[in-house]
Structure 1
């Protein structure tokens, strides 16, 4: 390529990392029932290929975010829990991987704003409610 040849920079429609997983998970949560990859594909905007949807669903299943049950020649996928439950699972996973749990929990609690710290104190003193 010589100096006169223009360089074309493509502005791809690529989503940020994890955005597709978030969109797929949100679609499944909105549905409220298990969906096959084809059904998930139909609910999403844009032109995602079937294989892309299957890959995303498989990754989410591998991360233990989704359950899957056979339905015909495919699987039907459903979230294991709601968004709050997923956030809690991520927090547990991080904490479980640490040997210095006390330090991690102390720094976490120290970083809370006053309202969240008061809520946490209240939850711990009242006994944690069990999610429904």
Structure 2
């Protein structure tokens, strides 16, 4: 029952985001990207005032949409943005929220080390 509820929420989220964007979310996963289900820490920007998040927190790469290139003049070459589900509600650096999921540039993600006896989270994009 929990799995179907989660799948239903993910489907509802995808439909809402696609409606707002006016296009479908990509579903083809880049080969060098973190895998869906990978555990990550969402980190603050060390070169600024800590934006975009108020604090560091854990989450999981979501399969709602495949990682996609960041189209912004401040993006690094080949930088990807991932949908991340947060372990608990989070506030951004402006105090807005709480958020339970967001599209996050990979510079703000740090793969969590695997637990002893488990496999690696896989390769990370450059």
TM-score, with normalisation over the residues of structure 2? 0.21
Structure label with greater radius of gyration: 1
Q: Which structure dedicates a bigger proportion of its chain to strand?
A: 2
TM-score (norm 1): 0.20
- Relative contact order, CA 8 A, sep 6+: which one is greater? 2
